[in-house]
Structure 1
Amino acid sequence: MSLTELEAKDAIREVIDRFSNLEIDVPAQTSFFTEDTHVMVHMNGTLAMDIHGAAELEKQFSAFTGGVKASQHLNGQQVITLNGENEATDTHYCRATLLTNENDQDYITDNYIRYTDTLVKINGEWKIKVRDQYFLMTEKRAIKA
Structure 2
Amino acid sequence: MDIKELADRVLLKDLVDKVSILADKKDIHAMAQLFSENTWSETFAGGVSILQLNGRKEMEEKLEGFLKNFETAYHLNGQQQVTINGDMATGKVYCLVVLVSTENGKKIQTTIGATYQDEYVREHNRWLIAKRIGNFEWQEKRECPAP
Partner Cα distance (2:128, 2:6) in 1: 17
Corresponding residue for 2:13? 13
Query: What TM-score comes out, normalization by structure 2 length?
Result: 0.93
Corresponding residue for 2:89? 88
Greater Cα shift, 129-138 or 63-72: 63-72
Task: Map Cα deviations across residues 13-49 of structure 1 (whole Å, 9 max, x no partner).
Answer: 0000111122132222111101100001111211112
What is the identity percentage for the equivalent residue pairs of Structure 1 and Structure 2?
A: 31
Pairs aligned (count): 144
Q: Give unmatched runs, 5+ long, in structure 1.
A: none
Query: What TM-score comes out, normalization by structure 1 length?
Result: 0.94
Q: Give the C-alpha shift of residue 50 in structure 1.
A: 2.1
Partner Cα distance (2:101, 2:30) in 1: 21
Corresponding residue for 2:39? 37
Q: Give the C-alpha shift of residue 105 in structure 1.
A: 1.2
TM superposition outliers: structure 1 runs of 4+ over 3 Å: none
Structural mapping, 1:3-82, within 5 Å:
3-22=3-22, 23=24, 24-82=26-84
Partner Cα distance (1:93, 1:74) in 2: 9
Partner Cα distance (1:6, 1:34) in 2: 22
Corresponding residue for 2:110? 109
Partner Cα distance (2:133, 2:145) in 1: 35
Give 1:125's aligned amino acid.
R
Q: Give unmatched runs, 5+ long, in structure 2.
A: none
Distance 1:61 1:83, change over 3 A: same
Helix, strand or coil at the partner of 2:114? strand
Partner Cα distance (1:99, 1:40) in 2: 22
Partner Cα distance (1:125, 1:106) in 2: 40
